[in-house]
Amino acid sequence: MRDTFEKAVQKTNEFNVLIEDLLNVLPDTAKNYKLKKKVEAAYKSLKRAMEMHESLITDVVPKLKVKTDSYPADFVDTWNMYKDYLVEQFGIRMGSRMQKFRLQLLFDYTNNDFKQATRWLQFYMAAGSASIYPVNEQKLEEKNDQQKGQNTGFVLPAKKE
């Protein structure tokens, strides 16, 4: 697939050179100037489209099967949301191997605890992270405890008479 795409890019570049040569032969008139600008804009647009498609092309490698049917439904929903988040925020489309090893790394960090893994995925999305890393939950809990104390205010001591 990549080979045929690269051949298409090469042929497109060759065609662009021929068009430029043809446009350079035309006399300098206002009409030809406008035509040259339109052709340049069309080529730039085509080049951007081909660059976008190039990022989607993968070499033909058989996909690994990632079994998520044995996982709890709320974890699978969060995992699918996390995959969409990576595409939306960073343009990262996880192939089967990346997905398999991210799941393996997540479960290694969370000791196969689905509830903790779900919380961590939500944390990664909330923090704007593209990586999987151990989350220090003790600090998160301490921070939440400190915020709870800040929200309640303070009590003045009773006035002595």
Read off the pLDDT of residues 76-121 as tens digits, 9 standing for 90 and up: 999 999 999 999 999 888 888 899 999 999 999 999 999 999 999 9
Tell me, what amino acid is at 142? E
Same structural domain, 29 and 79: no
Among 4-8, 44-48, 84-88, 115-119, the least confident range? 4-8
Domain membership flag for residue 11? yes
Average pLDDT for residues 14-41, to the nearest whole number?
87
For residue 81, give its domain range. Answer: 62-135
Together in a domain, 67 and 48: no
Is pLDDT at 150 greater than 80 in this prediction?
no
Per-residue pLDDT band for 2 (boundaries 50, 70, 90) equals low
Residue 158 placed within a domain: no
Looking at the domain assignment, is residue 153 inside a domain? no
The pLDDT value recorded for residue 120 is 92
Token reading at 51: 């660059």
* Structure token digits, residue 43: 């080529």
What is the per-residue burial (b if ≥16 Cβ within 10 Å, else e) of 98-131?
ebbebbeebeebbeeeeebbbbbbeebbeeeeee
Residue 10 and residue 7: Cα distance in Å, rounded? Answer: 5
